[in-house]
Amino acid sequence: MRIAKALIVVALTPVPVLAQTGRETKPATIIVSATGSVETAPDKATLSISIRGEGKTADTASAALAARQKAVISGLRSLDPRIGTRTGAISIREAYAGNCDNDDRFSMVSDDLESVADTLDSVADEMAADHALDSLPARAGKKDCTVVGRVAQIETSVIMSSVKDAGTAVGLAGRLGASRARIDDFGLSDDSGASNRAIAKAVENARAKAQAIATASGAKLGQIVSVDDGSERGMSGGLTVFAMKAPAEFAPAPIVIDVSPKPVETSARLTVTFAIER
């Protein structure tokens, strides 16, 4: 399916005449601006996943993160062996428990999933045993804001060529331990073909508009004199899916989530000058 849009800017110059000096003026021309747009089915999907690991120390949290990261990426490769990954921000932060409602550092935990809170509770219990803090109340009833462990986190972008499996990948990433997973967008791995088709469409639209102007003004349309490539190429895709973390002890087949991404729109805008034949 193709969608074409056109914006016309018209400039007509007088029919060539001889100046008193004997020099001929510039040829008469028609200048039009036109946009051509084409749609192409996407051949790649970009996912964003957030993976974290919790532990009593930075080392144990980092080790948990590394193990979970390996499990998530390996699982996604079972759907699409050709996936590409790009890592982003990596952080290790203290995790707090107790009366930390007014402490910004606690928001990292309080907004997280219940399973993460349970994990940190377990870490707090271990610390209490190690440091003879048996009198420390349960998490919901603690009065003091206490460091109970560390949380390591990494942000990762995953590029899939198997577009049809992108929705399934979101659910699988959540099952394998990703705290957040979503489809960011759909696109084209190489948009040069689509760009060329959009340019050809823009030239076709420009010629049609110029011909209509020439006919209406009683002139005869000639050849193209010049083309100004002021193209604005746009690509868009629009489907976002979120997954909640839900680790599982077993590894059944991933839940299939069907996706139907809209075509990627590629546009080209040209300003074309046509000669007017005498």
pLDDT tops 90 at residue 254: no
What topology does CATH give the domain 44-187? Alpha-Beta Plaits (3.30.70)
Q: What's the confidence (pLDDT) of residue 22? A: 52
Rounded Cα distance between 192 and 157, Å, is 23
CATH 3.30.70.2970 region(s) of the chain? 44-187
pLDDT tops 90 at residue 171: yes
pLDDT tens-digit readout, 57-98 = 999 999 999 999 999 999 999 999 999 999 999 999 998 887
pLDDT tens-digit readout, 35-48 = 999 999 999 999 99
pLDDT tops 50 at residue 34: yes
Q: What's the confidence (pLDDT) of residue 1? A: 38
CATH 3.30.110.170 region(s) of the chain? 1-40+190-234+262-278
Name the residue among 51, 246, 50, 72 with its Cα closest to residue 173: 72
pTM of this structure? 0.64
Rounded Cα distance between 137 and 139, Å, is 7
Q: What's the confidence (pLDDT) of residue 12? A: 43
What is the CATH superfamily name and number for domain 1-40+190-234+262-278? Protein of unknown function (DUF541), domain 1 (3.30.110.170)
Query: What is the token pair recorded at 124?
Result: 């707090």
Q: 181 Cβ partners below 8 Å, 6+ apart?
A: 47, 48, 49, 50, 169, 170, 171, 173, 174, 241, 242, 243
CA 88 to chain centre: 14
Among 9-18, 124-133, 194-203, 205-214, the minimum mean pLDDT is found in: 9-18
